């Protein structure tokens, strides 16, 4: 399974392995990660999603990553 990361702040894209993603700082509230419109806040959730989509035949997950200020609205 490939994991494509789209950095919404910088407008860049890169591919990482799932094992690389496991080492990320998952508890950081300043970064929001989204896959298929769902927030992914832990390695366990990403691994669960990867297994699910792999069973469906998906070869690549696309994850959007952004600082929380870009995705959270307030008023």
Given pLDDT bands bounded at 50, 70 and 90, which one contains residue 71?
low
Residue 1: what pLDDT? 86
Sequence-ordered list of residues with C-beta below 8 angstroms from that of 41, at least 6 positions apart, any chain = 26, 33
| Domains observed in the chain | 2-71 (3.10.20.90)
Share of the chain above pLDDT 90, in %: 81
Residue 38: what pLDDT? 94
Mean pLDDT confidence for 20-43? 93
What's the predicted TM-score (pTM) here?
A: 0.86
| Nearest Cα residue to 31 out of 45, 18, 46, 42 | 42
């Amino acid at each position: 399974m490939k994991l494509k990361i789209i950095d919404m702040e910088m407008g860049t894209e890169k591919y990482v392995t799932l094992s690389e993603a496991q080492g990320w700082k998952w508890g950081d509230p300043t970064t929001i990660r989204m896959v298929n419109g769902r927030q992914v806040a832990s390695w366990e959730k990403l691994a669960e999603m990867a297994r699910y989509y792999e069973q469906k035949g998906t070869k690549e997950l696309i994850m959007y990553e952004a600082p929380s200020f870009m995705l959270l609205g307030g008023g």
